[in-house]
Chain A
Amino acid sequence: MILQDLSLHILDIAENSTDARATRIEITIEENIRKNRLLVRIRDNGRGMTKSAQLRALDPFYTTKKVRRVGLGLPMLAQAVREADGSLTIRSRPGTGTAITARFAYNHIDRKPIGNMAETIMNLVAGHGLNIDLLYKHRKHGLTYIFDTRIIKQGLRDVPITNPEVLTFLRKNIIKGLKALEKRRKK
């Protein structure tokens, strides 16, 4: 069983942030086709990891969970990175937060596709939208799509962002926003 695309890895890693009691998660994707680079970053303000926890974070048999004895999220991302000759950086400080950055050669044949980010973001909002602010930035062809739940919450005022109708609306909006990135800016 594997995670088919990067958007599933992102969902998984961002779930770690919520377990770490983050109140803010930033997801950044930068597609730079000209320079043949792809960057994926998940950064949170959660409780962070000690140096020893960071060293063990890529060990599948290390987990802080109580319900099972393996923790495969980060090891599987590390594997996805390794298979595509990319690099993975973990930066973390206890009490401050954690940033996980994966870098790939854009055109590497074994680089997993980005996948469906609209679903990933909608899932995170559905599960944690009330407690967590989510900022998603996606850059491609010199254009940036920004999804910021702080702004959305302002517009919604007393309607919860986790309302199913709101979630459906946001999901469609993200799909549209990301589609707009595909249209190369006319020079």
Chain B
Amino acid sequence: MKKLKIGDLEKLRDKVKRTAEVREGKCKAKITVHMGTCGIAAGARDIMAALMDGIERKKIKDVIVTTSGCAGLCSREPMVTVEVVGKPPVKYVDLTVEKIKKIVNSHIEKGLIVKECALAIGSERTH
């Protein structure tokens, strides 16, 4: 059966390392998908999948994608917080796969906030 080989990982490591060197280890943005029970039930995992697909498709290298728990706004899930370095964090609510694609193309790639999906800009926490 198909097995994950250490050799594959080393190849991947070298590839990632090269791109990392280009950007000197600097990260442009951190994207947090809220993955509490409420988020999961509302489709947060599909949002994460679409986000990863978008990042891969756009060949965006300098971002961190992570998850966090419930932020206490269960009725507005799925939620994602986008933090671009040096800018206030933006919390996006009531997300769909379509909306997250838009956020990747606009906010994450170009730094333009997708206002119609944002709950609030600034003074946001990721937890």
Contact = CB atoms under 8 A, between A and B. Distances in A.
Interface in A130-153: 143, 145, 147, 151-152
B69 A119 contact: no
A165 B52 CA distance: 9
B20 A159 contact: yes
A92 to B, nearest CB: 19
A162 B46 CA distance: 18
A123 to B, nearest CB: 5
A114 interface: no
Nearest to A8: B40
A3 B41 contact: yes
Contacts of A157: 13
Contacts of A176: 2
Contacts of B45: 8, 11, 116, 119-120, 123
Interface in B61-118: 61, 63-72, 74
Interface in A164-178: 164-169, 171, 173, 176-177
B4 A171 contact: no
A67 B72 contact: yes
Contacts of A33: none
Contact-residue bracket for chain B: 35 or more
Interface in A59-84: 65, 67-68, 71-73, 76
A122 B49 CA distance: 9
Contact of A155 (B6, B17, B33, B38): B6
Contacts of B71: 67
Contacts, number: 126
A126 B66 contact: yes
B9 A152 contact: yes
Given A120-B45, A168-B52, A159 B16 contact: yes
B12 interface: yes
Contacts of B15: 165
Interface string B1-34: 1111010111011011101100000000000010
Interface of B: 1-4, 6, 8-10, 12-13, 15-17, 19-20, 33, 35-38, 40-42, 45-46, 48-49, 52, 55-56, 60-61, 63-72, 74
Given A65-B70, A72-B41, 14 more contacts: A11-B45, A67-B69, A68-B70, A72-B37, A119-B48, A151-B4, A155-B8, A157-B13, A158-B13, A162-B64, A165-B56, A169-B12, A176-B2, A180-B1
8 contacts: A11-B40, A126-B52, A155-B8, A155-B13, A164-B64, A165-B12, A165-B56, A165-B61
